[in-house]
Structure 1
C-alpha cells in the first residue's frame, strides 16, 4: 500500500472519469480521500487535461511533486472513441444543448463517410466550440454563449494522426480518433457534418489513451475511495 510519503513525493493516478462528473469533481474527490486517509490539511493535486462532463474515460491526476509534470503530460497525444449523429446540429456541438437545425442525410453514403474522414487527417485549423471554458478577454467562451453575445473565436492548429470510422448505422457513426493536445472532438463532429453538406453533433465520447497510458488501467474515483479508505479500517 502507498504511504503518505509516496503521495507527497509524487504519484500519477489514472482515473476513469464517470459520465456527468466534471474533471474538477474527480480531482476534489481524490483530494478529499487522500486528506482523510493520511490526516493531511493540504496536498498538491491536479489533472493533466480536462474532460467535459458528458465525456468519460482517462483522466491523469498528479499528486504531490508530480504536479510539476502536469504540463508534460498535457502535451501527450490522446485517443478517443465516440459516436456522432448526422443530420442535425446543436449550439454546443454535443448533447449539452438542444438541436437547433436539421439537415438531409439522403445523399450520404458509407463511401462518402470514409472518404470525408480521410480529409480530417493531418494538421487542421480548428475553431473551438463557443460552449467551452476557453477565455477571451478574461471571460469564458460559454459565458458569452449563454448571454447570447456574439464573439469572434480564433482558430488554432491541431493535428489528427488517425481518424477511423468503426461503424456506420445512419444517422449514427462510431469512430476512433488520435489527436494532439487542444483538439476539440466536438468541433471535429461539427466540421465533419459540414464537410458532408449536412450537420452533425457529438453524442458520446470516451478518452481511451493519453500517450502510453490506457483507460484499461484506470480506476473509477469511487473505487479509489473504497480501496484507500479501507486501509483506515484494517
Structure 2
C-alpha cells in the first residue's frame, strides 16, 4: 500500500489498509484515529495487537469489514525479544519482573535447542491477563481483582521458532504461528522449559498471511496523506 494508493481509495466502498501500529497505541486507538480521519463509521481491525507491541495491523473499511474474520484466521509472523531469568504476572512488561533466577547454568546451545519442544501442534494456556471472556467478563479484569482464574489450554501450531541467544539474558526470536497464539504465553512457557523463567520484553508483528510490514504505512504517514487529500478536495471545490 503506497501513499499514492491512499490518495485515491474509496473508503466508503471498501478498502484494506495496512498500518504499522506504533508502540503504546491500542488497536482500537488506530481504528478510532482512522475513522475520524476518513469520516467513515464502518471501520474495524483484523487482529488485536497489545499496546506494547508494534507492527502490522490490518484495518478494513466499508464492505471489506465482512472479510475481517478471513484475515484474522491467517497465519502470523512475529519478531521480538524474551528476557530470561525472571517472570512477570502479565508475561510481559506491563508488570514488574519477579522470581529472579540465575541463567548461568544455561548455554547458548541449550537455549537454542529448547525451541524444538514448541514446534508443531501444542497445547497453550492463554495468559490470565488477556481479553478472553468468562461468564461475560474479561479475565484480565478478574485477575486484577485477585480472582483465581483458570483457563483451559488451546490447540495452536508453531510452524517456525528461531532464537538468537547471543546477548543473554535477552533472547531475540522469530515465530510463525497459527491464529490464537499468545506470544506472551510462549515466552512464559519457554522460560519454564529452561527452568529459569522468561517474559516477553518486545514484540513486533511482521506478517499476516501474505501481507507484510514492508507494505504498511505508519499512522503518521496515513494522517499526513489524509490531510493532504482533504486539502486537495477543498481546493477543487473553490
Q: Secondary structure at the match of 2:129?
A: coil
Q: Distance in 1 between matches of 2:165 and 2:230?
A: 47
- The residue aligned with 2:133 is 135
Q: Secondary structure at the match of 1:101?
A: coil
- The residue aligned with 2:79 is 81
- The residue aligned with 1:46 is 44
8 Å contact kept, 1:88–1:101 = yes
- The residue aligned with 2:69 is 71
Q: Distance in 2 between matches of 1:112 and 1:96?
A: 28
Structure 2: 5+ residue runs without aligned partners? Answer: 1-6, 233-238
The CA deviation at 1:157 is 0.5
Alignment deviations for residues 66-109 of structure 1 (CA, whole Å, 9 cap, x no partner): 00000000000000000010000000000000112111211111
RMSD (Å) for aligned C-alpha atoms: 1.0
Larger deviation, residues 51-60 vs 113-122: 113-122
8 Å contact kept, 1:166–1:176 = no
- The residue aligned with 2:199 is 201
- The residue aligned with 1:26 is 30
User: How many pairs does the alignment contain?
Assistant: 226
Q: Secondary structure at the match of 1:8?
A: coil
Q: TM-score, normalised by structure 2?
A: 0.93
The CA deviation at 1:167 is 4.3
Alignment deviations for residues 106-149 of structure 1 (CA, whole Å, 9 cap, x no partner): 11111111110111110110011111111111111111111111
Q: Distance in 1 between matches of 2:26 and 2:166?
A: 30
Structure 1: 5+ residue runs without aligned partners? Answer: 36-41
8 Å contact kept, 1:93–1:129 = yes
- The residue aligned with 2:16 is 12
Counterparts in 2 of 1:52-201, with a 5 A limit? Answer: 52-201=50-199
Larger deviation, residues 58-67 vs 141-150: 141-150
Q: Distance in 2 between matches of 1:158 and 1:65?
A: 30
Q: TM-score, normalised by structure 1?
A: 0.94
The CA deviation at 1:57 is 0.2
- The residue aligned with 1:217 is 215
8 Å contact kept, 2:112–2:164 = no
Q: Secondary structure at the match of 1:166?
A: strand
The CA deviation at 1:2 is 1.8
